[in-house]
């Protein structure tokens, strides 16, 4: 399948630099804590894989999946978890909740609620590749991010997709309007 018509926002070198800086900021916040990294499947796993290799050894990995998008370019339904981490990996631990993008906030808000209210996390840090506050629909903020995007662009690559495609692009791109 051909690459979509798009423009590169962060190439591979800029992404690596951003991930290195993010990991450096997180080291101090995680040092000495029992940490579980929880990527939001599916797009969050790409970001998480790149980030956790830069973090202190010994953290636990588990996963959550929350459905909202389907094949559309905007959320189509209320967020609903259909895959949860093992409770022993969350209870009384610091959870590093990782996702590719924080836009409306509904997915991360629900994931954070589950980690705290239902699973007993001691602390949840929401960390994303892209923070897009222009699209925020609920009151949630990222604790840290690689990039804050002020424009309302539709993004692909680095885990972000269009109808399930283009997650595996090695750079972060904005689709041209006629593609999205």
Catalytic (active-site) positions: 103
Backbone torsions φ then ψ of 38, nearest 5 degrees: -125, 95
DSSP string, 147-163: EE--S---EEBTTB-BT
> What's the rounded Cα separation, in Å, for the pair 136 and 107?
11
Task: Please give the distance of CA 4 from its chain centroid, rounded to a whole number.
Answer: 22
DSSP string, 30-80: HTTS-EEEEEEETTHHHHHHHHHTTSPTT-EE--EEEE--TTSSS--S--E
> What's the rounded Cα separation, in Å, for the pair 132 and 147?
9
* H-type alpha helices, 95-175: 106-113
How many other C-beta atoms can be found within 10 angstroms of the C-beta atom of residue 72? Answer: 11
């Amino acid at each position: 399948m051909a690459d979509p018509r798009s423009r590169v926002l962060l190439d591979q070198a800029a992404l690596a630099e951003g991930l290195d800086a993010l990991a450096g900021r997180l080291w101090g916040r995680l040092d000495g804590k029992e940490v579980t990294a929880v990527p939001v499947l599916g797009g969050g796993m790409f970001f998480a894989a790149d980030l956790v290799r830069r973090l202190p050894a010994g953290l636990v990995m588990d996963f959550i999946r929350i459905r909202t998008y389907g094949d559309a370019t905007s959320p189509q339904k209320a967020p609903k978890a259909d895959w949860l981490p093992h409770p022993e990996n969350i209870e009384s631990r610091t959870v590093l909740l990782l996702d590719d993008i924080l836009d409306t906030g509904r997915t991360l808000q629900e994931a954070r609620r589950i980690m705290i209210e239902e699973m007993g996390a001691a602390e949840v840090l929401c960390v994303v590749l892209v923070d897009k506050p222009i699209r925020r629909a609920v009151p949630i903020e990222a604790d840290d991010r690689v990039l804050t995007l002020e424009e309302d662009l539709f993004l692909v690559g680095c885990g972000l997709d269009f109808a399930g495609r283009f997650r595996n692009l090695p750079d972060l791109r904005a689709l041209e309007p006629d593609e999205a």
